[in-house]
Amino acid sequence: MAGKRTAPPAFIAAGTEALRKVNARRHLMPKCRAKSKTTGQQCGQMPMANGVCYYHGGRTPKGKDWHKPRWPKKTAPDAERKMVARLRNLERGEKQRQKRLAKMSPEERAAFDKWHRDRPTGTPAQRAAKKRARQQNDDARALFAQSQEPRPVSAEVAALQAQIEELEALRAALGAAATAPMDAPSRAGPDRHGPEDDLNPELWSIFG
């Protein structure tokens, strides 16, 4: 084909030999730790410095540039074309994200929102400060929940509470007897049994 530029045969031979050697040792080299979406198996691409390949986030910005778009270099000869393509990809990705959000159940959407709340954007210092604030809020809520739990009652306190309840019951019974009609049938006699007879005899010691 006229006008087609090809490398010298020596360069092609050297490149082919280098690829042959790499492919012969490929099964011994580290692999990307991510899993393939199509097969569910471990990715077979060579990893970058962070342990994953280019396709699985190996070039994802870290630190202060985390979760920010990567723009083409201004000095690149095709910077304008790359910028247009990048903006188009971002717009397409945002539309797809909105479609996924619309199909989520309330539980899935709550989990999605929580994931993003726990991983806010910003500088590393800002993210660390927000993480500390979330941890402090969680600790405060845990302490408040513990303070609302019922405390165990000692035997002495339980006995006093039981005596108080008996005295309250006696007072209510005596008050009802005092307000009873005068012409009510008399219950005087040796068989008379009043509410005070049911009271624990030890309670009378309270009155001296």
> Is there a domain that residue 15 lies in?
yes
Residue 41 lies in a domain: yes
Residue 16: domain span: 9-60
d(CA 53, CA 163): 75
Does 145 fall in a domain?
A: no
In a domain, 21, yes or no: yes
Q: Is residue 144 part of a domain?
A: no
Q: Can you tell me the distance from the alpha carbon of 9 to that of 155, in angstroms, rounded to the nearest whole number?
A: 97
Whether the model pTM is above 0.75: no
Please give the mean pLDDT across all residues of the chain: 81
Is 137 domain-assigned? Answer: no
For 15, the token pair is 């490149």
In a domain, 27, yes or no: yes
Does residue 136 form part of some domain? no
Task: Identify the pLDDT of residue 163.
Answer: 86
Per residue in 48-103, pLDDT (tens digit) is 988 899 888 888 887 777 778 888 888 888 999 999 999 999 999 999 999 999 99
Beta-carbon contacts of residue 45 (< 8 Å; ≥ 6 apart): 31, 32, 53, 54, 55, 56
* Residue of 49, 45, 48 lying closest to 26 (CA atoms): 45
- Cα distance from N-terminal residue to C-terminal residue, the chain: 122
Rounded distance between C-alpha atoms, residue 77 and residue 136, angstroms: 50
Q: Domain count for the chain, please give it.
A: 1
Report the C-alpha gap between 45 and 57 in whole angstroms: 12
